[in-house]
Structure 1
């Protein structure tokens, strides 16, 4: 992976920040956030987050952190709201915070009351004692992070430069565990989050960003060592069955579905998607879960699978089977939670056509495109993970907790999806 850092571009962002009375550090934070967000092999559609710590004119320590509803590739200063750092640091040694209490703390710490909610990982950003903190869901990292028992491999690849964090639900718990592990390895330059992604940090914007690029490159080299080539984003070059599309659109629009007026379909048939769709064990792989936890809120835990040229009866049967599977998944997991859960709709967001391609389904063209982008990246990561070893994402219980986590569902509402 190549660095996209450009001194002239960075200087323009610094100058723009000065011209509007903002700090140079925030200007650089906007710049590196955008070059991270502009690479689909780093983050997609609201994924990842970035922060920068600054000192206000009155000497108060502040942190600008990505806000909900913003994408890194188009982020501007309002998308990096400032929070007071001191109350966040106090949470490190305080009692466990519930989700509502954590959100209340973050909102109470905002400098501007009407700013967007800070990222659910704001506490972890705050606890790390560096000016710049970057977090991505890079494709090459996911191919390795979604492997069983990677702790020793991560140590072999990165030595002491990365500290290994076992999977923990994002939010307060992850912040506390990751902070404890960082303090056990204070000379590390990043955190490897099992089944999740990568954090890097430094007191210099370029260094934090280029550490991210370096560590991802090392992941690519590890894949290559096992003979796995990870292709970049690919064009959709397969021929679509337009009659199948029409049948799917008709089948999805019905009473009780979330697509009461229209179902928007985004078709993709890249080489990587066709490779995945053609695997003999494709269905078993697909049922294991999503490549990174937060994908589940946009594309559901697994796709619906149909054959090429499926007729109306076959599509209806597949939808019914999908609904039954989803209801059983909900029943198994809802009964173990302490708070009541309301089941979401039982319709797929990804339809995988065997040996052919995928349809991402949404209530809008934007939602469908987002699903398509996520699935296109996911198939490349899954193919690489299977080539390296065995694609092994988080288990069903953790996936359910993520899908039904109120803070994740709130992201969709903020983004209007």
Structure 2
């Protein structure tokens, strides 16, 4: 992976910020956030988050990516500001509910009308560095979604990246990362098992280029073992017309996605390789490549034959609904509060020998699902070539899908 840092562009972002009466550091934060967000092998569709800490007369202020903003086209208002000192006081508070955390963060916004800061805002606050970057890079996920990777992370990065076992995003993850950094304050990043990667530094360029360097090191580690993670590929969008028509009619008849649900068909070499695996039925049900993808994809997709009739499509949808209901009933009793089951319709449909359909209430949602599952195919193919694709457990996946904060974010978007 190559750095896309450009001195002239960086200077322009800093100068434009100052012309608006904002610190140049905030302009640079916007600049490198966009560099990250515009690379689909770093983040996709609102994934990842960034922050910057800026000294001010009244005390240091931290700007953190706002919930619902996409790094690819973020502006300064998408990085709401909070006073840092009150956030740091929570380092000694062992527990806080997600709802209380959100209310606490909002209470310290400089602009009360600003969007909610990222659920990982406290994590950013606890890192002492000026700039903090977080991504779900494709090559990192290939290795993050494996069991027993702590010694491998040590081997790849030579102690420059700290290890954090899987913890659900939010307050607990913030404290787990704080503790990991306390064990070794010299590290330049944190590896979050089954999740992604953080880097941090005193300048925007250094934090961004550490991310590029570490992703490149992961790519090189895989390449040395004969494993190539292909970049996003040109897609064939020619879907069987009868299948599209019957699928759309069958989904519309179930009403959960409105009268005109959208379908986004795509087929690439990586998708076809994934769909051609002998263990596809089991593999497709292991989970998502990073936890928040479950919000867009549900915990598993629906398998369908290319020549399926309308009756066979209805039977497949009935089977998916029954399987999803069983998943809900297995996991809901273990939740801390009562959950109401979401609609039991698939968000991705896998058609071996043809391609995949992203499914959504509109074309934007369908394309997001398609993009995320296209990346899933590239990650899983490489993860299986390395050892075994091992995402978070079903229980953890359920907790993420039914997490009240993530549900609120999805409704807002």
Report the alpha carbon displacement of residue 160 of structure 1 after superposing the two structures with TM.
1.1
Aligned match of 2:188: 189
Spell out, residue by residue over 1:308-337, the C-alpha distance to the aligned partner (whole angstroms, 9 max, x if none): 111111111111110011001000100111
Aligned match of 1:47: 47
Q: How does 1:200-211 map to 2 (within 5 A)?
A: 200-211=199-210
In terms of mean alpha carbon deviation, does 330-339 or 230-239 score higher?
230-239
The answer to whether the 8 A contact 2:132-2:200 is kept is yes
In terms of mean alpha carbon deviation, does 92-101 or 209-218 score higher?
92-101
Aligned match of 2:379: 381
Q: Distance in 2 between matches of 1:217 and 1:210?
A: 10
Return 5+ residue gaps in structure 1 as ranges: none
Aligned match of 1:340: 338
Report the alpha carbon displacement of residue 238 of structure 1 after superposing the two structures with TM.
5.9
Aligned match of 1:2: 2
Aligned match of 1:150: 149
Q: Secondary structure at the match of 1:358?
A: strand
Deviating runs (4+, > 3 A) in structure 1? none
Report the alpha carbon displacement of residue 355 of structure 1 after superposing the two structures with TM.
2.2
Spell out, residue by residue over 1:189-220, the C-alpha distance to the aligned partner (whole angstroms, 9 max, x if none): 00000000000000011000000000000110
Report the alpha carbon displacement of residue 237 of structure 1 after superposing the two structures with TM.
2.4
Aligned match of 1:286: 284
Q: Secondary structure at the match of 1:254?
A: helix
Give the 3 Å change call, closer, same or farther, for CA 55–11 of structure 1 in structure 2: same
**TM-score, L = length of structure 1:** 0.98
The answer to whether the 8 A contact 2:251-2:261 is kept is yes
Q: Distance in 1 between matches of 2:119 and 2:341?
A: 23
Q: Secondary structure at the match of 1:3?
A: coil
Q: Say if 2:315 is the partner of 1:317.
A: yes
Aligned match of 1:398: 396
Q: Say if 2:246 is the partner of 1:247.
A: yes
Q: Distance in 1 between matches of 2:43 and 2:333?
A: 34
Q: Secondary structure at the match of 2:256?
A: coil
Q: Distance in 1 between matches of 2:162 and 2:234?
A: 36
Q: Distance in 2 between matches of 1:238 and 1:389?
A: 31
The answer to whether the 8 A contact 1:235-1:270 is kept is yes
The answer to whether the 8 A contact 1:238-1:356 is kept is no
Q: Secondary structure at the match of 1:253?
A: helix
Q: Distance in 1 between matches of 2:93 and 2:282?
A: 43
Q: Secondary structure at the match of 2:334?
A: coil
Spell out, residue by residue over 1:136-168, the C-alpha distance to the aligned partner (whole angstroms, 9 max, x if none): 000000000001111111111111100010000
Q: How does 1:50-129 map to 2 (within 5 A)?
A: 50-56=50-56, 58-129=57-128
Q: Distance in 2 between matches of 1:400 and 1:232?
A: 30
Aligned match of 2:198: 199
Aligned match of 1:407: 405
Spell out, residue by residue over 1:203-258, the C-alpha distance to the aligned partner (whole angstroms, 9 max, x if none): 01100000000000011011111111111011112642111111100110124x32
Report the alpha carbon displacement of residue 59 of structure 1 after superposing the two structures with TM.
3.4
Q: How much is the aligned-residue C-alpha RMSD, in angstroms?
A: 0.9
The answer to whether the 8 A contact 1:326-1:346 is kept is yes
Return 5+ residue gaps in structure 2 as ranges: none
Q: Distance in 1 between matches of 2:323 and 2:377?
A: 22
Aligned match of 1:367: 365
Q: Secondary structure at the match of 1:130?
A: coil
Report the alpha carbon displacement of residue 259 of structure 1 after superposing the two structures with TM.
2.0
Report the alpha carbon displacement of residue 412 of structure 1 after superposing the two structures with TM.
1.0
Q: Distance in 2 between matches of 1:191 and 1:203?
A: 16
Report the alpha carbon displacement of residue 60 of structure 1 after superposing the two structures with TM.
1.3
Q: Distance in 1 between matches of 2:141 and 2:204?
A: 24
Q: Distance in 2 between matches of 1:123 and 1:144?
A: 26
Report the alpha carbon displacement of residue 363 of structure 1 after superposing the two structures with TM.
0.3
**Number of residues paired by the alignment?**
413
Report the alpha carbon displacement of residue 81 of structure 1 after superposing the two structures with TM.
0.5
The answer to whether the 8 A contact 1:68-1:414 is kept is no
Q: Distance in 2 between matches of 1:131 and 1:182?
A: 15
Aligned match of 2:227: 228
Q: Distance in 1 between matches of 2:336 and 2:282?
A: 30
Report the alpha carbon displacement of residue 2 of structure 1 after superposing the two structures with TM.
0.4
**TM-score, L = length of structure 2:** 0.99
Spell out, residue by residue over 1:74-120, the C-alpha distance to the aligned partner (whole angstroms, 9 max, x if none): 00000000011111101110241001110011000100000000000
Q: Distance in 2 between matches of 1:207 and 1:260?
A: 46
